[in-house]
Amino acid sequence: MNATYFSGGCEVPLGVECAWQPAAVKAASTGSRRCLQLAAFLALAVAFWQTGQAAYIQAKAQLAQVLLQQAWTKTLAGEQAVKPWPWADTWPVARLTAPSQGVDLFVLAGADGRAMAFGPGHVYGTAAPGTAGNSVIGGHRDTHLRFLKDLRPGDELKLQRPDGREVAYRVSEARVVDKSDLSPLAPRGEAWLTLITCWPFDALRPGGPLRYVVTAAAAVQG
């Protein structure tokens, strides 16, 4: 006679419980399967939602570039402070290209968060892009100014001004400074371009105390 044990108030013969499951065990197993199915469904739903979000963000970014291009075309034609969309509180002030990196960006007025969501921003109070003095441009390390990490001394940068003139620059150095260090904003007599983003580039959290600064001197004074 087989020994017995009790499961859920039912007497179950030992020796046969491995051949088939008692009712209580079956119910628990069914519940586990349902939990796994629910978890899989939720994971799939989240994946579809994230894919949809990514597609939406990508579509919005592409549309913004089209509208910025249209605003810049009007700027080159002589219009001033052309807003890319009616509710925008910024407008393109220059076009920045980095031939070695395949980068082509519109520089926007102001380096606040709303402007830098759509492109690098020109810091108010510094020289206008492509003119004599130190023109400072800021941007996010994980989007528009991520290419800074791959620039090397001697690399070429180009700025197109609102009057259509193009000024070429050569990268002179790259350095890391504390965000409290204001020396990158210091005025200069010559035409300089200073590009600033957060550092390090692979940080998981936004912001941080350090800044990555790339300086470039104009090959042609403007």
Task: For residue 153, report the phi and psi dihedrals to the nearest 5 degrees.
Answer: -50, 135
| CA atoms of 215 and 175, how far apart (whole Å) | 9
Q: Is 3 left (phi over 0), alpha (psi -120 to 50) or beta?
A: beta
Q: What is the CATH number of domain 89-218?
A: 2.40.260.10
- What integer pLDDT is reported at residue 216 of this predicted model? 98
Q: What are the start-end ranges of the E strands in 50-132?
A: 92-98, 103-109, 121-122
Per-residue pLDDT of the chain (222 residues; tens, 9 = 90+): 444 434 444 443 433 333 334 444 444 455 666 666 566 566 655 555 555 555 655 566 678 889 999 999 999 999 999 999 999 999 999 999 999 999 999 999 999 888 898 999 999 999 999 999 999 999 999 889 999 999 999 999 999 999 999 999 999 999 999 999 999 999 998 899 999 999 999 888 878 899 999 999 998 544
- Number of neighbours of residue 6 by Cβ within 10 angstroms: 8
Tokens standing for residue 208? 């941080």
Q: From 167, 162, 103, select the one nearest 132 (Cα to Cα).
A: 167
- What integer pLDDT is reported at residue 51 of this predicted model? 54
pTM given for the model: 0.73
| CA atoms of 74 and 105, how far apart (whole Å) | 16
- What integer pLDDT is reported at residue 175 of this predicted model? 97
- What integer pLDDT is reported at residue 62 of this predicted model? 72
